[in-house]
Structure 1
Amino acid sequence: MARIEFAELFLVLLKPKVERTDAIQKFVCQETVILRLHDADGCVGTGYSYTIGTGGSSVIGLLSDHLLPLLIGREAEEIESIWRDLKFHIHATTVGAISSLALTAIDTALWDLRALRAGLPLHLLAGGARRRIPTYTTEGGWLHLSQDELVEDAQRAREGGFRGVKIKIGKPTVRADVRRVAAVRAAIGDEMELMTDCNQAFSVDEAIRRAESLAGLDVAWMEEPLPADDVEGHVRLAAATSIPVAVGESIYGLRHFRDYLQRRACSIVQVDCARIGGITPWLKVAHLAEAFNVAVAPHFLMELHVSLACAVPNGRWVEYIPQLDEITLSGLRIENGEALAPETPGLGIAWNWDEIRKRRAVEHAVRKVA
């Protein structure tokens, strides 16, 4: 084992490749928090986290002012202990997005260090259930797009070999949503999966109504139909529809997932590594879902989630939304509609440090105070 000697912290702003809108918001900018941890043996682990436009400076502040000073000097292999100690240190702000995003930067860097020292790729170190996993694309399904544009993109996705496409719903009327979903279903045929995403826009009665209207279109799932803290509403919806209900990208704690699973309030778990607090709690959520025979289809972060979804036996999908291409040297490998888990030691992300330093909005170095 080796102790953490110092940390480098960056904030890099990345514009989305296409305009991204949903029923409640617009994806303005990925504020990418990147953390490098240097240990006493000279090994360097890199982790990261993100926001979709606000809060990045708060994540940086929580890390530089409160968490990293406590991390310096700790044994890097004590990942579980570190995660718990740091979480309790900021317990007054947890459970919540800023705390989870900050913990994720540290936790993913520690897992990268562990995998590099072991000489293993993350998908093997974390479980090794498979080496590839089906992909679906969200990048052409945004709410502002016209019906024709949705259809054209879905056809391109089919020709490109994707196994599924996801489109946003939440138009002012039920019929408008149904027309768009029906048009995409007709364009892709019966062999390709079609997912829908509501982004927490509906009340319970409206979600039930829209689910009933979509029931004949073979929808793979209805994602985030209600506010994420409305477990009871999801119970009612899940009981009222045959469409699988997917939740998780806006859930920040293991026990919140437990409540959903115990209440049979969801059929798909979309746990987001950044928003749950890192790889350590992500794996716990995935195995908890496995105990309920529920599949995992993680939200966003495809470059990291491909390894995690391949690590566990109930990983089902990886969501294709490219966002790190401008600051990495290798992209997601896809063959026959399946994403391949990286085989290089560590997280499998080849960072372009020249580009990161060129684009950085913030940079800090944190060392142990004498």
Structure 2
Amino acid sequence: MDRIRSIRVIPLIRKLEQVFEGSTYRIVSRNTLFVRVETEQGVKGEAFGGDEDIYQEKVVRVANEFLAPRLIGEELQPVEKLWEKMFSTQGLPFHNRSIHTLDMVNHAILMQAIAIIDVGLWDTLGKSCGKPLAEFWGGSRNSVPVVGIGGYYRPGGELELRQEIDRHLELGLAGIKLKVGRCTVKEDIRRVEFIRKNFPKDFVIACDANQAWTFGQASQFARGVKDLGVEWLEEPLRWFDQMEGMKRLRQVTNIPIVAGQGEISSWGCRDLILNGCVDILNVDATIAGGITEWRKIASFAHLIPFAGCDS
């Protein structure tokens, strides 16, 4: 089996010409990571992943200085064994307080560093074997519908929203994941009504609040759009009410509840499922330890009748 010769993670940053505003955040630049893995037989795996901005430098340092050296000379397969080797790395450049919530940032940095290398390892393995990764992972479909993230809050209002969705349709997208939560609940309901009234009935509308609402606001929104064919409601509740709050919200609406994008491990996703908090997991593999960890999450989700897993 081919062995790993080198791994290098490179940070990329591009300042945006316009600001994108969701309910709880502003995007002024796009950050991502690029990884290149090379084997002793000359196979090169490459991948992009992640959008970390605040801690990007630390993620890159952990990946290049602490994780990559542990894998040099190791056999490329199985990737799962390499993942465990990274996850068990000691002596990382973190000042942990042994206080769960205060140390979560450090754990998140580690999992993102693992993720970018893991994605690169999988690409390298696929190229080494001359086989699409979808076949490695048991994929059975030739295509999936794609929705575009949009509806960011901008001065143009309904006119700009109409132009944006027209562009989605031109590109052949199936729908939009609409940002909600920055304005009033009533205004966001009207935005959903505008889309449903002015575009094809089969145009998918999903809504993403990015943890903006209280339980009362989220349930008010769910009632207001219950007849508008909303595909799912994503991260509706504030950070401190993820477990009990989303469980309660699922009980008062038939709109599927989505969360998991902020989880950094299979254990966090396990808890969302077992506590009845979600209908669908939207795990970000670039945050939650890469493809290897995502596959564990997906396998567990398939065992639970109400749960699905997306990435």
Give your verdict on TM over 0.5.
Answer: yes
3-state DSSP of counterpart to 1:216: coil
The C-alpha deviation readout for 1:286-336, integer Å capped at 9, x for no partner, is 2222222433332xxxxxxxxxxxxxxxxxxxxxxxxxxxxxxxxxxxxxx
Partner of 2:138: 127
Structure-2 change in CA distance of 1:2 and 1:133 (3 Å): same
1:264 — aligned with what? Answer: 276
* Whole-angstrom distance in 1 between the partners of 2:232 and 2:153: 17
Q: Is residue 42 of structure 1 aligned with residue 42 of structure 2? A: yes
Instruction: Determine the structure 2 residue equivalent to 1:217.
Output: 228
Gaps of 5+ in 1: 299-370
Q: Which residue of 1 aligns with 2:294?
A: 282
Contact 1:45–1:110 (8 Å) recurs in 2: yes
Equivalent residue letter for 2:292? T
Alignment partner, residue 68 of structure 1: 68
Provide the C-alpha distance between the structure 2 equivalents of 1:58 and 1:259, rounded to a whole number of angstroms.
28
Helix, strand or coil at the partner of 2:13: strand
Say whether residues 1:296 and 2:309 are aligned partners: yes
Work out the CA distance in 2 between the residues paired with 1:65 and 1:156.
Answer: 43
- After TM superposition, the structure 1 = structure 2 runs for residues 201-240 of structure 1, keeping only pairs within 5 Å, are 201-227=212-238, 230-240=242-252
Q: C-alpha separation between the residues in 1 aligned to 2:299 and 2:42?
A: 33
Indicate the SS of the match to 2:277: coil
Deviation at 1:53, TM superposition (A): 2.8
**Aligned position for 1:6:** 6
Q: Which runs of 5+ in 2 are unaligned?
A: 97-102
* Cα distance change on mapping 1:160 and 1:51 into 2, 3 Å: closer
Question: 1:128 and 1:203 mapped to 2: Cα distance?
Answer: 38
Distance 2:3 2:15 in 1: 36
Q: Out of 77, 102, 111, which is 1:100 matched to?
A: 111
1:170: which partner in 2?
A: 181
Distance 1:163 1:35 in 2: 31
Contact 1:137 1:164 in 2 (8 A): yes
Structure 1 position 182, deviation (Å)? 0.7
> Which of the numbers 131, 149, 154 marks the counterpart of 2:165?
154
Query: How many angstroms apart in 1 are the aligned matches of 2:87 and 2:171?
Result: 43
Aligned equivalent of 1:31 = 31
Aligned partner of 1:82 in structure 2 is 82
State the shift of 1:33 in Å: 1.6
Q: Give TM-score scaled by structure 2 length.
A: 0.88
- Give TM-score scaled by structure 1 length: 0.75
Paired AA for residue 31 in structure 1: N
Q: Any idea what SS the aligned residue of 1:60 has?
A: helix
1: CA distance, partners of 2:205 / 2:310: 14
Aligned to 1:252: 264
Asked if the contact 2:256/2:280 (under 8 Å) is kept, the reply is: yes
- Structure 1 residue 65: deviation in Å? 2.2
Percent identity, please.
29
Structure 1 residues 160 and 39, CA gap change in structure 2 (3 angstroms):
closer
Cα shift readout 1:58-115 (whole Å, capped 9, x = no counterpart): 1111112211121212222131122112112158666843112100111111111111
Equivalent pair of 1:37/1:109 in contact (CA under 8 Å): yes
Once the two structures are TM-superposed, the CA of residue 52 in structure 1 deviates from its matched residue by 4.4
Report the equivalent of 1:143.
153
Shift of 1:270: 0.8
SS in structure 1 opposite 2:264? coil
| Alignment partners' CA distance in 1, 2:253 and 2:89 | 42
Q: Return closer, same or farther for 1:56/1:163 CA change in 2, 3 Å cut-off.
A: same
Once the two structures are superposed, residues 212-243 of structure 1 have per-residue CA deviations (whole angstroms, 9 ceiling, x without a partner) of 22212211111111245621111111111111
On the 8 A contact 1:3/1:75 being kept in 2, the answer is yes
Q: Secondary structure at the match of 1:128?
A: coil
Superposed CA RMSD? 2.1
Cα pair 2:263 2:269 within 8 Å, conserved: yes
Q: Which structure is higher in RCO with an 8 Å CA cutoff and minimum separation 6?
A: 1
2:24/2:182 contact within 8 Å kept:
no
Counterparts of 1:172-187 in structure 2, within 5 Å, are 172-187=183-198
Could you say what secondary structure the match of 1:142 adopts?
Answer: coil
